[in-house]
Amino acid sequence: MKFFNREREIYKILSIMEGEPNLIYFIYGSINSGKTALINEIINNRLDKDRYVVFYINLRGIFVSKYDDFIEVLFEVYDDDKKPIEVIKSLLKDFPTLFGIPAPKNTLEEILKKKTTKNVFRYITNVLMEIKKDGKQPILIIDELQKIGDMKINGYLIYELFNYFIDLTKELHLCHVFCLSSDSLFIERVYNEAMLEDRVDYILVDDFDKETALKFMDFLAKEILNKELSDEDKELIYSYVGGKPVLIIKVIDKLRYESLEDILDYMLKDAVQKLKYFLKELDYIKPKVAIGDEVIEIKKEDIIEALKLFKNNYEISDDDISEPVYVYLVKRNILFLNPIEGILKPQSYLVWNAIKRIL
């Protein structure tokens, strides 16, 4: 399927890549808003392959619990005696993107033995410098970076990574660094991190607004169904799923063999049931969240009162809900927090509709 829209975000990211590396960029948004699809479109179809070398490290679906796990994800091992730059040139003939930093087997074994990030970062920097000397701009993209947020080696690994990314961008101007995350609490942590002040910028990849969502439906109807949808059908779809790209795709695709009313009715029932079971669960457990060094217990009635605030509003200020309550709701993927704008909203229109239906 052809890529749809996001030209504003694409223009911004390409413009950043064309300039000198100066900042770390966090690309964030709610679950399934299209962050990974956007970055894949850019690196596969919009970048000049003669100017850039892209390393895409995807932590999604990978269990990273110890140092060796992290190294295995970060590097692509090879047995040859070739230099890394030679391996990179060879790989780029067939692939637009590299899914790890090429490293000779014996070098990787030494890195694993010493178990220090200093050796890891020194090796990566040398590889990036070789790419730069070859006349190309290296770009490092890490998807779902929050997966290593609580991992410790000598202290938290994430802080060593932040320091290294600052070195690559603001200090050496060597490599563009983009980090993707749908974990809005992780983005809040980044946003409030003093060591990153003036060293980070943020790119929101949000659900489509209504006008764009309706155009997306037209696009999909033509691509998948080879027909047009009525204005009434498009309005109905939007009223159920809003501008969440993956949900719009799901609806249009199912229209090949189901009626629109049945599709939307099932999706809403599913969202309602999940929310009902979430609320019933609160009768049997005592939800707790850690805020700083304190572990706080949350009452079911406080959660219900917080959700009631969305009965007439899709977005509210994060000041309207106590931090422990909204942190718990974000962790359970009921709400999404935009810490840069200080806004809370349901993870999707479907969740919003379920809240309104139950409460």
Read off the DSSP letter of residue 145. G
Measured from the Cβ of residue 49, the count of other Cβ atoms closer than 10 Å reads: 15
Name the residue type at position 194: A
Measured from the Cβ of residue 118, the count of other Cβ atoms closer than 10 Å reads: 11
What is the mean pLDDT of the segment spanning 43-60?
91
Residue 270: pLDDT over 80: yes
Alpha carbons 353 and 162: distance in angstroms, whole number: 39
pLDDT band at 105 (very low <50, low <70, confident <90, very high): confident
Residues 174-231 have pLDDT tens digits of 999 999 999 999 999 899 988 999 999 999 999 999 999 999 999 999 999 999 999 9
- pTM given for the model: 0.93
Rounded to 5 degrees, φ, ψ at 106 are -65, -35
Q: Exposed (0-12), middle (13-18) or buried (19+): which is 103, by Cβ within 10 Å?
A: buried
Rounded to 5 degrees, φ, ψ at 207 are -60, 155
pLDDT band at 127 (very low <50, low <70, confident <90, very high): very high
Q: Of 168, 175, 172, 179, which is closest to residue 201 (Cα–Cα)?
A: 179
Query: Position of tokens 């490599």?
Result: 175
pLDDT of residue 152: 59
CA distances from 136 to 23, 40, 43, 93 (A): 19, 19, 14, 15
Alpha carbons 13 and 15: distance in angstroms, whole number: 5
pLDDT of residue 306: 97
| CB distance 213 to 242 below 8 Å | yes
How is domain 278-358 classified at the CATH fold level?
Answer: Arc Repressor Mutant, subunit A (1.10.10)
Q: Which two tokens stand for residue 202?
A: 């943020």
Residue 153: pLDDT over 60: no
Class of the 7-204 domain?
alpha beta
pLDDT band at 155 (very low <50, low <70, confident <90, very high): low
CA distances from 179 to 140, 147, 234, 253, 262 (A): 8, 12, 34, 31, 39
* DSSP for 133-171, written as a single string: HTT-EEEEEEETGGGGTT-EESEEHHHHHHHHHHIIIII
Instruction: Kindly state the helix (H) or strand (E) to which residue 90 belongs, with its residue range.
Output: helix 84-92
Q: Of 339, 344, 350, which is closest to residue 316 (Cα–Cα)?
A: 344
Read off the DSSP letter of residue 3. -
First to last CA, the chain: 39
pLDDT of residue 1: 61
Boundaries of every domain in the chain: 7-204, 210-257, 278-358
| CB distance 141 to 99 below 8 Å | no
Q: Which residues pair with 294 in a beta bridge?
A: 291
Name the residue type at position 359: L
Residues 292-316 have pLDDT tens digits of 889 999 999 999 999 999 999 999 9
